[in-house]
Structure 1
Amino acid sequence: MNRVIDLKTMTVAYGSNPVLWNINATFKKGAMTAIIGPNGAGKSTMMKAMLNMIEPLNGSVTYYLDNEPSSYGKVKKRIAYVPQNTSVDWDFPATVLDVVVMGRYGHLGWLKRPRKADYDYAREMLVKVGMPSFANRQISQLSGGQRQRVFLARALVQDAELYLMDEPFAGVDIKTEGIIIELLKELRREGKSILVVHHDLQTVAEYFDEVVFVNREIVAAGPVAEVFTDAHIEETYRVDHNLGEEGVEDVGITL
C-alpha cells in the first residue's frame, strides 16, 4: 500500500485510564480518510498521539511522507493540524490575520519575523476560505464557522503534505461546510493526504475515500465503498461503553 502513516500496537492512556488499546491502522497516501466512532471512543486521542502531543504507553507511529519510515520529529514541518474548535482559547488577543500567519512559522524558523510575502500569502488564503474582509477582526468576535475557516486558512499557509483535522465540520453552517470540503478535495487533487475526525455518518460516502472505525480499538478500516457498511456502523456504536444507546442517537443512527 502507498501509505502515509502506520500505527502499530499502539496503546494510549490518561493516567491509569486506557483510552486506546492495541491500535493497528494504516492510512493511505493521497486519500481523504474519515476517523469515525462514538463520543469517548478515542478518535481525538489517536490523532494527538500521531502528532506527538500524547505519548503512547506502547506501540509506534511511523510516517512515510517520502516512502521511507520517519518519526514525527523529522517530518513535523510538513504536517498541518486543525484542532477542535473547543480546544482553542478564543479570548487570546489576536487578529484573524495574526492567527493565519502563525501557520508560516514552521517555514521561518526560530527568531525570524514574518515578511510581507508571508502576510500576502495569508491574505490569499483568507480569500480562499471566503474571509478576506475579516483580516483585522479579533478572533473572539468570530462565529464557530468563521473560526473553523480561519484555522483552515492557517493550515493552508503551511503548504503541508499531510493534514490532520479534528472535527472541522462540527458546529459550522452549511456554507462553511461546503467551503471546507471543496478546499479539502482540492488538496487531495494536489496529492495531499487528509485525515479527519468526523461525526456525521450521512456525509462519509460523499466526502471520503477511506474510513477507519474506532471504539477504543479498531473495528474496521479500508475504502469507504467496501468498509462503510451497516454491520460495521452497528458494531462500532453498539459497544460504546460510555454512552450506550445515547451514543447511537447522537449521531443520528437507527439500529
Structure 2
Amino acid sequence: MSTFTAELVGTMILILFGGGVVAGVSLHKSKGFGGGWVVITFAWGLGVAMAAYAVGGISGAHLNPALTIALATIGNFPWEDVPTYIAAQLIGAFLGGVLVYFMYLPHWKGTKDPEAKLAVFSTMPAIKHPLSNLISEMIGTFILVLGILALGTNTITDGMNPFLVGMLIVVIGMALGGPTGYAINPARDLGPRIAHFFLPIPGKRDSGWSYAWIPVVGPIIGGTFGALFFQQIFEGNNSITFWVFAIIVVIIFISAQMTVKNIKSEE
C-alpha cells in the first residue's frame, strides 16, 4: 500500500467512525439516538486510534492536513509530500462521509432537523462569532499537535501512541469542543462538508460555506504554532517563524476580545 492510499484509507476510517457516531446519536430512530456528547467524544477518539493503528506503519497516520503542515514547518516531514498527503486526506474524508450517508440511508428522511443532518458531516459553532470560533479551533489543534509531538519523544509509550492520541482527542472534545464541535482537522470538516453538499439528503439545509473557512484556517494556524512551540520550548530551537506565529496569534486574540460585544447566540 502506498502512503497516498494509507492516508486516504486511514482518514476514511476516521470519518466513518466519527461521522457514524454523530449520525447514530442525532438521527431519528437510530438505536443510539440521544446518546450525547460523551458518547461522541469517545467514539471520535477511538476512531482516531483505530485509523492510526491501521495505517500508521505505512504513512505515519497523519490523517490531518494541520498535522502534516505543522510537521513540515518544523522540518519533520518533507514539503514535497505535503500536497499528496492533503489530497489523500481530503478524498478519504469525503468518502468517509459518503459511507456514513449510506450507512444511515433510511434515517435521513425520518429526521426533520436539518441542523442535525449537517452535524453528521461537519461542524458549526454553538455561538457564531468568527474570531472566537477561530480561536477555539486554534487552541484545540495547538494542544493536539503539541501532545502528539510530546508523545513521540516518550519511549515509555511505545506501541501505545495511537491509543493515547485517541484519548487526547477525547479530552480535547470534552474540554475544548463545546464552542465549535472541535474539527481540529481541515479534512475532517471540509471533506464531509463537500459530501453533504453533493449527496441527495432529504430536507437538508445549505452546507454552511460561510463558516467553512474557520475549521480549515484555525487548525492550520493552531497546529503549526503547536509544532513551533514544541520546537522552541521543549527542544530549545529558536526560530523566527515561532515569533511570527506568536504575533499572529496575539493579534487574533486581541481582535476577538475587541469584537466580543457583537457576539449573538445562534437561533
With normalisation by structure 1, the TM-score equals 0.25
More strand by share: 1
